[in-house]
Amino acid sequence: MSGANQATGLSNDELVRLYISHLIARNRSERTIKSFRSILERFIGFLGSKSVMEVSVYDIDLFLAHLRQRGWKPDSLYTAAVAIKRFLEFIGKKDVLKDFELPRREKKLPRYLEPEEVKKMLEVAEDSKEKLIVLLLYTTGLRVAELVNIKKSDIDLEKNTIRVKGKGSKERYVYFPPGVTRLLAQELSRNSSEWLFPSSKNPNHHIHYTTVERILRNLGKKAGLGKRVTPHVLRHTFATISLASGLDIREIQELLGHSNLNTTQVYAHVSRERLKRDYEKVWGAFSGL
């Protein structure tokens, strides 16, 4: 769709369905599609009988204020604003957005685990599949959507590489250490599915990303970590440890599949925080000679 004229005559619901189809056709992640659909359906409900072709920046602000009153956090409000902004751009209503500002996001350093905490998770894992999920996220920095979409044909055990299709269908290669090879080979021979991690209900499909999230959440609890463990926390852990161990920031950018170096630069801040903490462990009690 290239403009407002093409949207004329379509209902709000039809426009949302058309936009969701656009996201699916552009290979957006399952999580993004699910999140944007939910937000836009809420927005349409909030508008009532008003057509989205008639919305103003005030309607968007009122909706975001409504979400905030219902307890939505800053990061969630930002996502909602982005979803609405991109939807309106898609239907040709860029003019509405000229005075619109995205809400501020909280500036938080990424959470990560210490190697000892990852080890504890591996010790309480129920089977080799759970161990492999943890190890791949920890040693490659993969996004959860990239992990579940790995096909057996993407893996090269001799070169220790995995071909990954990231955001925007951008292809890259990530590496895994020799210590992961045995578990990978074991999982490759376990089933006849094309997927590394097939669904238990239907081997023709891969496992759902929420299954991975549940596995990590449960392992974190069983390991007594006292913190919420997610796929993204392990991705942050990979980047933080890689930077602290000497990998160049641009190398980490490539491994993570970041299109913008600024996105990767946050790990430099994390590394400095970790350096300060480790320094204080050694020198914090020093009171002079």
- Residues 253-269 have pLDDT tens digits of 999 998 888 878 888 77
Q: Is 165 helix (H, G, I), strand (E, B) or coil?
A: strand
Read off the pLDDT of residues 29-79 as tens digits, 9 standing for 90 and up: 888 999 999 999 999 999 999 999 999 999 999 999 999 999 999 989 999
Mean pLDDT score, 101-114: 83
What is the DSSP code string of 249-274?
HHHHHHHHT-SSHHHHHHHHHHHHHH
Buried b (16+ CB within 10 A) or exposed e, 10-35: bebeebbebbbeebeeeebbeebeeb
Q: Which two tokens stand for residue 124?
A: 């309480």
Query: Is it the case that residue 206 has pLDDT exceeding 80?
Result: yes
In this prediction, residue 8 has a pLDDT band, given cuts at 50, 70 and 90, of low
Gap between the Cα atoms of 164 and 37, Å rounded: 26
Q: Which two tokens stand for residue 212?
A: 């991975």
Please give the pLDDT value at position 264. Answer: 83
Cα separation values, 59 from 18, 64, 70, 146, Å: 21, 9, 17, 36
Active-site positions?
143, 167, 232, 235, 258, 267
CA dihedral 179, 220, 39, 46 (to 10 degrees): 180
Residue 273 has a pLDDT of: 75
Mean pLDDT of 207-212: 94
Percent of the residues in the chain that have a pLDDT greater than 70, as a whole number: 95
Torsion of CA 187, 190, 192, 196, to 10 degrees: -20
- Please state the pTM of the whole predicted model: 0.69
137: Cβ contacts below 8 Å, ≥ 6 apart: 144, 147, 216, 231, 234, 235, 238
Q: What is the pLDDT of residues 108-141, one digit of tens each?
A: 767 899 999 999 999 999 999 999 999 999 999 9
pLDDT at 165: 87
Please give the Cα distance from 76 to 68 (Å, whole number).
9
For residue 176, pLDDT over 70 is answered with: yes
Q: What mean pLDDT value characterizes the chain? A: 90
Q: 233 near 112, Cβ under 8 Å?
A: yes
In degrees, to the nearest 5, what angle opens at C-alpha 116 toward C-alphas 106 and 210? 55
CA atoms within 13 A on the CB side of 248: 3
Which strands, in side-by-side order, build the sheet including 155-156? 155-156, 161-165, 171-175
Residue 147 has pLDDT above 90, yes or no: yes
